[in-house]
């Protein structure tokens, strides 16, 4: 399996973020550390994004909605942020580094081993990085009971900032208690793992977690197309080469969220960008859809 790993995918441009968090200043030692942990993470699950060292990138900070996340962290009392499909927690760590309160973040992933490896790669402990991690399957009713986002809004008499404060994050064992409580939800390289029906179900489930307060939003990125449909994938994060993948278009993506929340209740922005991954054949690109869905 190690033969599939290649140190050419290690990107020196990302080392400042990792170096700041680990305290490893020597670039040779830093590279050695990252590649050693990479082998251990890859053994848990051989996702392509692990192979190209995506687990040490601070990708979240490149999205237009990221500054809105930091602003809510500063201005909305008790604002809660969920990183769903968090992996090793690199994006949550970026948010904390940039000022979002660590004790107001929840991270969740199907593989709890990834979170443990995050402490190893970034040289942290649950005490030094006190973000609440809740492992589980978002499609399981025992982990996240399905709810109606529109009903959540209508049932809330005062859809204003501050309702998030009633949640005790330390006691969380599932995401259900967070329904209607989250100011921001981040889902990156997650939706494209599933077919059309599952993507709709996933959107409904995480939408039920969003606070009814105006300005609360969901954002992220995943593979998209100009016209929704299937295509054979060549190199997408977390997806085996040759996978037949369902992709939304910006128009169908907007329609999905309008259907979930109700017409005129949210503002959806979705744009396609061409991405050249380091492990893709020369001259080929993927279309990633960068998006956000904001309560009005």
Collapsing DSSP states into helix, strand and coil, what is residue 44?
Answer: helix
Query: Band of the pLDDT at 119, cuts 50, 70, 90?
Result: very high
Domains, the chain, ordered by start: 2-295 (3.40.50.150)
What tens digit of pLDDT does each residue of 60-82 get? 999 999 999 999 999 999 999 99
Residue that wins the pLDDT comparison between 291 and 280: 291
> What is the model's pLDDT at position 159?
43
Query: Band of the pLDDT at 278, cuts 50, 70, 90?
Result: low
Q: From CA 174, how far away is CA 178, in angstroms rounded?
A: 8
> What is the model's pLDDT at position 293?
98
> What is the model's pLDDT at position 158?
43
How far, CA to CA in Å, does 256 sit from each of 17, 111, 133, 196? 35, 28, 29, 11
> What is the model's pLDDT at position 240?
59
What tens digit of pLDDT does each residue of 202-226 get? 999 999 999 999 999 999 999 888 8
DSSP β-ladder status, 244-247 and 229-232: antiparallel
Query: Band of the pLDDT at 87, cuts 50, 70, 90?
Result: very high
């Amino acid at each position: 399996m190690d033969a599939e790993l290649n140190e050419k995918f290690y990107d020196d441009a990302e080392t400042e973020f990792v170096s700041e968090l680990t305290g490893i200043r020597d670039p040779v030692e830093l590279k050695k550390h990252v590649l050693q942990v990479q082998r251990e993470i890859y053994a848990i699950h051989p996702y392509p994004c692990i192979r190209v060292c995506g687990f040490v990138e601070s990708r979240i900070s490149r999205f237009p909605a990221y500054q809105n996340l930091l602003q809510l962290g500063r201005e909305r009392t008790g604002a809660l942020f969920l990183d769903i499909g968090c992996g090793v927690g690199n994006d949550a760590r970026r948010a904390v580094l940039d000022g979002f309160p660590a004790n107001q973040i929840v991270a969740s992933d199907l593989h709890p081993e990834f979170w443990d490896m995050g402490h190893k790669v970034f040289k942290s402990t649950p005490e030094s990085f006190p973000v609440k991690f809740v492992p589980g399957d978002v499609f399981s009713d025992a982990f996240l009971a399905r709810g109606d986002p529109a009903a959540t809004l209508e049932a809330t008499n005062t859809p204003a900032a501050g309702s998030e404060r009633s949640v005790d994050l330390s006691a969380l064992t599932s995401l259900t208690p967070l329904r209607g409580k989250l100011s921001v939800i981040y889902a990156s390289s997650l939706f494209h793992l599933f077919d059309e029906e599952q993507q709709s179900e996933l959107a409904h489930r995480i939408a039920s977690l969003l606070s009814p307060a105006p300005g609360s939003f969901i954002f992220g990125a995943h593979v998209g197309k100009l016209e929704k449909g299937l295509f054979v994938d060549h190199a997408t994060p977390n997806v085996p080469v040759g996978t037949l993948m369902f992709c939304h278009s910006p128009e169908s993506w907007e329609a999905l969220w309008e259907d979930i929340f109700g017409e005129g209740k949210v503002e959806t922005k979705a744009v396609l960008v061409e991405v050249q991954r380091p492990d893709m054949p020369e001259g080929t690109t993927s279309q990633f859809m960068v998006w956000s869905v904001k309560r009005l």
